[in-house]
């Protein structure tokens, strides 16, 4: 971890950089994989699974037998925990249902919106060093609430050629229709263009490493929608002298163990807290089974001491963290001044882990500063809003002349005429 004390604003841009790869070389590699999957379908997918996931597959589809066998291997305690989480996620997202209303903008002119589910969605669940069955719930539960007709899921298999049992259980519980043993760029390409086995979808959801993020960005240029360009995970803890250094260290490490390219940040107004957190991180780190991953991740992490809470908030809003934990004495007041963040956790007893798993909020969030422009996944992510309008004769009579003037001044005479012929019809009826 890098300790930084009282940085000047001219240093902020450098300090707040995320770990990254050479984008140009990354896109070239990713594009070549996408093109092969697009052209060769299942054959290319299986070859890339052998190369990247080190598994030879005769069939990339998870069969009913595999699904049943896997679920049988999930312990009752874990099933109960996943079920509780699913219930809370369902409760939170169901409350987001859109209720449109008809608005009469002027007499005879009525406008409204209707929410319609995206019919076919693809969910990407990373594999890597840990099975992210929680992400299955975060994506599939709102998809089913929205009313998506086809929900397919791609996830890399283990070395045994099978999907992790907990992923299968979560998928069944949340209502996923079909699962495919495909990971990485090849999974994104398969869902974007379709293969002999994997259906083409209309929108792709899910986090992943920087290769997956690049793949999602490339296919979204003209072929399929995506939730957001979410990359390696990150957390910032914003704390003052009242924060518990044990809690802060635990929060930083919980993020660091995600992967070697994750980033954990502490922004604090207290030098004493900063030094205590350093000691506590070192103490807790050696107790973690994934300490090697966390240790590498911590090389990307920074502990930043600032002069006051105003500066801390300005730095935070510039960083725009995926997760923001506010452990300050007046956390409610501080939170009101947060404008750029994916998900915010308030107070000493609101760890990021709660949102990652079971409180009900969604953990698929914008990273890499995209929180300045993107929201996290919600029920709205799985629907489209279609606008409707109905204009009666009295309505077109009232707004028609204004439309004619505007169309004429934009030199779009056909637009003007579409109104004029109707106004003439109304005038003729009046004369009769």
Residue 331 falls in the annotated catalytic set = no
DSSP state of 370: G
Q: How far is CA 85 from CA 25, 136, 164, 170, 174, in A?
A: 40, 11, 18, 10, 11
Residue 186 annotated in ligand binding = yes
Residue 301 annotated in ligand binding = no
**Burial 369-403, CB ≥16 within 10 A → b, else e:** bbbeebbbbbbbbbbbeeeeeebeeebbbeebeeb
Residue with tokens 């076919």: 120
**Angstrom distance (rounded) from CA 422 to CA 398:** 12
CB 177 within 8 A of CB 155: no
User: Rounded to the nearest 5°, which phi and psi values hold at 189?
Assistant: -65, -40
Strands 109-117 and 383-391: antiparallel
DSSP strand E in 191-338: where?
203-205, 225-226, 234-239, 263-268, 302-305, 323-327
Residue 410 annotated in ligand binding = yes
Residue 233 annotated in ligand binding = yes
CB 322 within 8 A of CB 344: no
Residue 11 annotated in ligand binding = no
Residue 363 annotated in ligand binding = no
Residue 258 annotated in ligand binding = yes
Residue 330 annotated in ligand binding = no
Assigned token pair, 201: 């979808």
CB 37 within 8 A of CB 184: no
**Angstrom distance (rounded) from CA 311 to CA 62:** 51
**Angstrom distance (rounded) from CA 262 to CA 253:** 10
Catalytic residue among 93, 164, 323, 363: 323
Q: Give the alpha-carbon dihedral of 389, 394, 398, 399, to 10 degrees.
A: 20
* Residues near 252 by beta carbon (within 8 Å), at least 6 away in sequence: 235, 237, 264, 266, 277, 281, 298, 301
Residue 53 annotated in ligand binding = no
Give Cα 423 distance to the centre of its chain: 49
Residue 90 falls in the annotated catalytic set = no
Catalytic residue among 322, 327, 352, 404: 322
**Angstrom distance (rounded) from CA 376 to CA 372:** 11
**Angstrom distance (rounded) from CA 137 to CA 141:** 5
**Angstrom distance (rounded) from CA 166 to CA 1:** 34
**Polymer length of the chain:** 432
- Annotated binding residues for Zn(2+): 255, 258, 356, 415
- Annotated binding residues: 124, 186, 209, 233, 255, 258, 323, 356, 410, 415
- Residues annotated as catalytic (active site), given as ranges: 322-323
- Annotated binding residues for NAD(+): 124, 186, 209
- Annotated binding residues for substrate: 233, 255, 258, 323, 356, 410, 415
């Amino acid at each position: 971890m890098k300790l930084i004390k009282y940085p000047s604003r001219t240093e902020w841009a450098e300090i707040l950089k995320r770990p990254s790869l050479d984008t140009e070389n990354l896109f070239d590699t990713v594009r070549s994989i996408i093109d092969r999957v697009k052209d060769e379908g299942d054959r290319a997918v299986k070859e890339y699974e052998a190369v990247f996931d080190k598994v030879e597959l005769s069939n990339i589809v998870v069969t009913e037998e595999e699904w049943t066998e896997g679920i049988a291997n999930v312990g009752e305690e874990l099933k109960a925990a996943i079920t509780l989480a699913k219930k809370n996620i369902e409760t939170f997202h169901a409350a987001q249902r859109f209720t449109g209303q008809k608005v009469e903008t002027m007499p005879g002119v009525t406008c409204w919106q209707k929410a319609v589910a995206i019919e076919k969605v693809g969910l990407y669940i990373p594999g890597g060093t840990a099975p992210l069955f929680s992400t299955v719930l975060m994506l599939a539960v709102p998809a089913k609430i929205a009313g998506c007709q086809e929900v397919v899921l791609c996830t890399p298999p283990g070395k045994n050629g099978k999907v992790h049992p907990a992923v299968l259980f979560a998928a069944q519980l949340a209502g996923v229709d079909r699962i495919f043993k495909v990971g990485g760029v090849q999974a994104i390409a398969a869902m974007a263009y379709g293969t002999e086995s994997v259906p083409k979808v209309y929108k792709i959801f899910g986090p992943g490493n920087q290769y997956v993020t690049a793949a999602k960005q490339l296919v979204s240029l003209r072929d399929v929608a995506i939730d957001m360009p979410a990359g390696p995970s990150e957390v910032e803890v914003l704390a003052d002298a009242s924060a518990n250094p044990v809690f802060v260290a635990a929060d930083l490490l919980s993020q660091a163990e995600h992967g070697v390219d994750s980033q954990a940040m502490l922004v604090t107004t207290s030098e004493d807290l900063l030094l205590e957190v350093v000691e506590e991180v070192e103490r807790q780190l050696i107790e973690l089974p994934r300490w090697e991953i966390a240790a590498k991740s911590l090389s990307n992490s920074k502990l930043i001491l600032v002069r006051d809470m105003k500066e801390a908030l300005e730095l935070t809003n510039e960083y725009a963290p995926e997760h923001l934990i506010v452990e300050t004495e007046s956390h409610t007041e501080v939170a009101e001044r947060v404008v750029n963040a994916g998900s915010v956790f308030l107070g000493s007893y609101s760890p990021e882990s709660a949102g990652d798993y079971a409180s009900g909020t969604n953990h698929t969030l914008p990273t890499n500063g995209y929180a300045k422009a993107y929201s996290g996944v919600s029920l709205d992510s799985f629907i489209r809003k279609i606008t409707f309008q109905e204009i009666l004769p009295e309505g077109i009579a009232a707004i028609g002349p204004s439309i004619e003037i505007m169309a004429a001044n934009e030199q779009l005479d056909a637009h003007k005429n579409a109104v004029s012929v109707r106004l003439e019809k109304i005038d003729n009826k009046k004369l009769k």
